[in-house]
């Protein structure tokens, strides 16, 4: 009986810790290959998704191999998964990558999605 009470107390303590933490991002995903359309310029379409455990705002950015980045805010009305997407137009041959980065509430990042475009000279 005593072990049962100890286990119940531990479960309640763990639940309290989880509830006290509040909502969080529990998934960040970037599809490994962009959709490439057009010949010149080539349009690269990157897609991914972010999942939250509850209502919150998430600040994220798209990081590119050419050094540029764009920042965005995503509002989660409840625990759900929301899609994210961005485009990159290129007029030249280029081997590069794109990465999805969560800036807040806690920094997280995906692996880089690499690509090769053979446009121009």
In this model, does residue 121 exceed pLDDT 80?
Answer: no
Which pTM value belongs to this model? 0.79
Return all residues near 68 (Cβ < 8 A) that are at least 6 apart. Answer: none
Q: What is the pLDDT of residue 39?
A: 79
For the chain, domain boundaries: 23-117
Multiple choice CATH, 23-117, 3.30.70.120, 2.60.40.10, 3.40.640.10, 2.60.40.420: 2.60.40.10
pLDDT tens digit string along 2-38? 776 766 666 665 555 555 579 999 999 999 999 999 8
Confidence of residue 118 (pLDDT cuts 50, 70, 90): confident
The secondary structure element, H or E, covering residue 96 is: strand 94-104
Q: What is the pLDDT of residue 13?
A: 56
What are residue 98's phi and psi, to 5 degrees? -135, 145
pLDDT tens digit string along 68-95? 999 999 999 999 999 999 999 999 999 9
Strand partners, 25: 52
Would you call 88 exposed, middle or buried from its count of C-beta atoms within 10 A (0-12, 13-18, 19+)?
buried
Q: Is 6 helix (H, G, I), strand (E, B) or coil?
A: helix
Over residues 105-114, mean pLDDT = 96
Strand partners, 101: 61, 109
């Amino acid at each position: 009986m005593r072990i049962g009470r100890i286990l119940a107390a531990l479960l309640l303590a763990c639940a309290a810790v989880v509830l006290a933490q509040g909502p969080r991002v529990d998934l960040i995903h970037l599809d490994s290959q962009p959709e490439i359309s057009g010949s010149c310029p080539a349009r690269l379409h990157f897609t991914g998704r972010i999942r939250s455990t509850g209502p919150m705002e998430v600040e994220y950015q798209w990081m590119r191999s050419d050094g540029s980045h764009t920042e965005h805010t995503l509002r989660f009305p409840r625990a759900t998964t929301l899609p994210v997407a961005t485009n990159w137009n290129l007029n030249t041959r280029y081997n590069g990558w794109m990465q999805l980065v969560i800036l807040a509430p806690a920094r997280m990042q995906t692996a880089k999605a690499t690509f090769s475009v053979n446009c121009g000279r």
